[in-house]
């Protein structure tokens, strides 16, 4: 069984902006037959829910009853896993009281179906420093009906003993369905705060399906705040992705399935992306039905959001300001996408004062020459 993930994006803000020129009107494909062949798929309505019903078993176990100490020095990995394993096949809740629980992320916590990992608001799962280029604290692999709620999950980036690799994760959700992560603080990981993707086994790709991330903060991770690979029905809402920096792409969220498999029916809503060394949101090919709505993107060193040959996007009612490059950038062969009713003002701070009025419209929206079927309407740009 091989987990298909960790595709590294080599894109960075400075390498894509040369490809842009401004297009102010609707771009229509030349051949109608071509349009029908790649028509925008019909999206299911209202599949998303910030607080979905997750089927959790009735049993409960406290990790301290299995030997966990939570004293900031004892390796509590085996004790917490023993608590998880002690639940019946019908699942239940694993209670983690206040304290700092040291975790050997080379032997991560494996959650089971119908299980809730419930951390006290003052509980923390902290990585024991290691030299590995790849690790996980919590694995949600090929299971269903899982909830992770509360507390902190903290990486080892300041104490990491190695200097290679970029795949140290807080939470890795792969090939799983009906998963809810809420009210969790992820930070300081050698790679990403969280990954949502697929598992490939026996030539079959099993994508994660119906994953909700609600009120999560992912901050100061080395590669991304959150990466999404092959998956469907992913809802990211009311969350914050900030201060990513360390190794490219350094985005708040990167939807990057590419050759691993498709990603579709994804909604990013009412989130904040700020202070990331790359782009606030980055999107790549092999995606469809992606909606980005009601988000705030500010102070990112790259674009507020950048699509690199990423089609079928709906970008609406977002606020992007004071990003180093444009608020929205569509590059490569991005097609069949709309940018409507956004407030995109005082961006491109690498080139002009963030408070200065005026400048061309591409200060705030940049559209590449190879894009097609792009709709722009109702956007509020920096006043001239």
pLDDT at 358: 85
Residue 189, domain member (yes or no): no
pLDDT per residue as tens, the chain (384 positions) = 333 344 333 333 333 333 443 333 333 333 332 333 334 444 447 999 999 999 999 999 999 999 999 999 999 999 999 999 999 999 999 999 999 999 999 999 999 999 999 999 999 999 999 999 999 999 999 999 999 999 999 999 999 999 999 999 999 999 999 999 999 999 999 999 999 999 999 889 999 999 999 999 999 999 999 999 999 999 999 999 999 999 999 999 999 999 999 999 999 999 999 999 999 999 999 999 999 999 999 999 999 999 999 999 999 999 999 999 999 999 999 999 999 999 999 999 999 999 888 889 999 999 999 999 999 999 999 998
pTM value? 0.89
pLDDT at 233: 98
Place of tokens 């959150």: 226
| Distance between CA atoms of residues 377 and 23, nearest Å | 12
| Distance between CA atoms of residues 221 and 112, nearest Å | 26
Domain range enclosing 27? 1-50+238-384
Collapsed DSSP state (helix, strand, coil) of residue 32 = helix
Residue 73, domain member (yes or no): no
Cα 148 to chain centroid distance, Å, stands at 16
Residue 191 near residue 167 (C-beta atoms within 8 A): yes
Residue 146, domain member (yes or no): no
Residue 126, domain member (yes or no): no
pLDDT at 59: 98
Query: What's the total number of domains in the chain?
Result: 1
DSSP string over 227-270 = EE-SEEEEEEES-EEE---SSTT-EEEEE--GGG--EEEEEEES
Residue 43, domain member (yes or no): yes
pLDDT at 245: 98
Residue 156, domain member (yes or no): no
Residue 178 near residue 147 (C-beta atoms within 8 A): no
pLDDT at 285: 96
Residue 368 near residue 21 (C-beta atoms within 8 A): yes
Cross-strand partners of 116: 93, 147
pLDDT at 342: 98
Q: Give the phi and the psi of residue 16 in degrees, each rounded to 5.
A: -110, -20
Nearest CA among 368, 363, 260 for reference residue 311: 368
Residue 197, domain member (yes or no): no
pLDDT at 37: 34
Residue 3, domain member (yes or no): yes
């Amino acid at each position: 069984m091989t987990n298909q993930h960790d595709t590294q994006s080599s894109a960075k803000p400075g390498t894509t902006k040369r490809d842009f020129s401004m297009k102010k009107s609707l771009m229509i494909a030349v051949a109608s037959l071509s349009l029908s062949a790649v028509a925008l798929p019909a999206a299911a309505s209202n599949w998303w829910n910030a607080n979905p019903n997750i089927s959790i078993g009735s049993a409960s176990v406290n990790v301290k009853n299995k030997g966990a100490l939570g004293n900031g020095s004892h390796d509590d990995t085996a004790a917490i896993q023993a608590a998880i394993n002690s639940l019946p096949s019908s699942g239940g809740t694993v209670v983690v009281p206040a304290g700092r629980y040291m975790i050997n992320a080379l032997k991560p916590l494996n959650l089971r179906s119908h299980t809730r990992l419930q951390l006290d608001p003052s509980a923390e799962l902290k990585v024991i420093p290691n030299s590995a280029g790849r690790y996980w604290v919590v694995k949600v692999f090929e299971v269903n009906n899982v909830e992770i709620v509360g507390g902190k999950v903290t990486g080892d980036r300041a104490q990491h003993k190695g200097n290679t690799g970029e795949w140290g994760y807080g939470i890795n959700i792969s090939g799983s369905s009906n998963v809810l992560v809420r009210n969790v603080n992820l930070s300081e990981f050698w790679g990403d705060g969280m990954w949502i993707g697929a598992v490939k086994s026996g030539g079959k790709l099993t994508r994660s399906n119906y994953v909700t991330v609600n009120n999560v903060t992912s901050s100061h991770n080395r590669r991304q705040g959150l990466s999404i690979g092959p998956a469907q029905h992913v809802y990211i809402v009311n969350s914050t992705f900030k201060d990513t920096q360390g190794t490219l792409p350094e985005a708040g969220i990167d939807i990057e399935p590419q050759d691993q498999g498709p990603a579709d029916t994804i909604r990013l809503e009412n989130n904040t992306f700020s202070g990331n060394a790359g782009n606030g949101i980055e999107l790549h090919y092999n995606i469809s039905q992606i909606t980005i709505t009601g988000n705030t993107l500010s102070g990112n060193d790259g674009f507020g959001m950048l699509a690199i040959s990423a089609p079928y996007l709906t970008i609406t009612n977002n606020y992007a300001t004071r990003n180093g490059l444009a608020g929205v950038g569509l590059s490569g062969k991005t097609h069949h996408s709309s940018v409507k009713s956004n407030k995109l003002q005082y961006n491109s701070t690498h080139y002009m004062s963030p408070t200065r009025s005026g400048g061309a419209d591409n200060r705030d929206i940049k559209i590449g020459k190879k894009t097609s079927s792009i709709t722009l309407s109702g956007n509020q740009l920096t006043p001239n």
